Amino acid sequence: MEDVPLSEAAAPLARARRDVVFTGAGISAESGVPTFRDDLTGLWARYDAERLATPEAFHADPDLVWGWYEWRRARVRRAEPNPGHLATAAIEALVPGSVVVTQNVDDLHERAGSRSPIHLHGSLFAPRCVAEAAHPAPLPATGTGEAAEPEEGRRLAPPRCAHCGALVRPGVVWFGEALPEAALTAAAEAAAGCDVLLTVGTSGVVYPAAEIPRIAARSGATVIQVNPEPTPLDRVCAVNLRGTAAEVLPALVAAASS
């Protein structure tokens, strides 16, 4: 279903007692956050993703991989949550049983006020050591101005774990790695038990994350998609709202609140 009045699309959200907001790269792109492939620019364009986003790449050249992720983290720090992130937090206030599930590795949902979003693909802001215990590690200190962003293309030695001495790695899910079991289970359970699922800015093709809206649809939830373009999720959604998260989500929240 498309081109329905916004009030009609908002009605299930207004009635919901439990909802899931499932977000992808599209919502953060509106804050100027590129995908990891799009961040292969400038001096980093000498490399491909497989040289920078696999466990093998990190073990072969930890300084190179850590340097790239620290550069990415500094760039994300400069971005600001957009109206789509703020509307997501507003949905949590509107529906007490809300759960935010994101495929993004930035912290823009948290900075917009969302409570403990589930990160399916990890986070740039949750480094951990490479040991089996995967000890959480503190974020490296950052300076101000030019010192706050590592030079493009620069190798940086990763820190060592304060608990076991192992190298600290970025806390993201790399190619060849499974999604965090606890996060995936929590997301699937939330989808299976919700009244409404909003899928926002995601292509719906990256599995197993792409299964989350489908779980909700099979469980009888109303699935509403917000995306500027058609996606493979169109056929499982009760409503497809064409537009960006920053445009559509605030209007949807306003309509559901009225």
Ordered DSSP codes for 73-112: HHHHHH----HHHHHHHHHHHHSTEEEEEE---SSHHHHH
Q: Is 98 exposed, middle or buried (0-12, 13-18, 19+ CB in 10 A)?
A: buried
What is the reported pLDDT for 145?
43
What mean pLDDT is reported for the chain? 90
What is the reported pLDDT for 50?
72
Q: Is 229 annotated as a binding residue?
A: yes
Q: Is 202 annotated as a binding residue?
A: yes
What is the reported pLDDT for 179?
96
Q: Is 161 annotated as a binding residue?
A: yes
Q: Is 227 annotated as a binding residue?
A: yes
Confidence of residue 134 (pLDDT cuts 50, 70, 90): very high
Q: Is 12 annotated as a binding residue?
A: no
Mean pLDDT of 191-219: 96
The string of pLDDT tens digits covering residues 148-199 is 556 666 789 999 999 999 999 999 999 999 999 999 999 999 999 999 999 9
Is 104 within 8 Å of 27 (Cβ atoms)?
yes
Of 15-29, 65-79, 168-182, the least confident: 65-79
Q: What percent of the chain has pLDDT over 90?
A: 78
Structure tokens at 55: 């466990």
Which of the listed CATH numbers 3.90.1310.10, 3.40.50.150, 1.20.1300.10, 3.40.50.1220 matches domain 6-257? 3.40.50.1220
Catalytic annotation, residues: 121
Mean pLDDT of 83-94: 97
Mean pLDDT of 56-62: 95
DSSP string covering 183-207: HHHHHHHHHHT-SEEEEES--S-ST
**Sheet with 18-23: strands ordered across:** 118-119, 97-102, 18-23, 196-200, 222-227, 239-242
Domains of the chain, residue spans: 6-257
Mean pLDDT of 99-113: 97
Structure tokens at 87: 């509307």
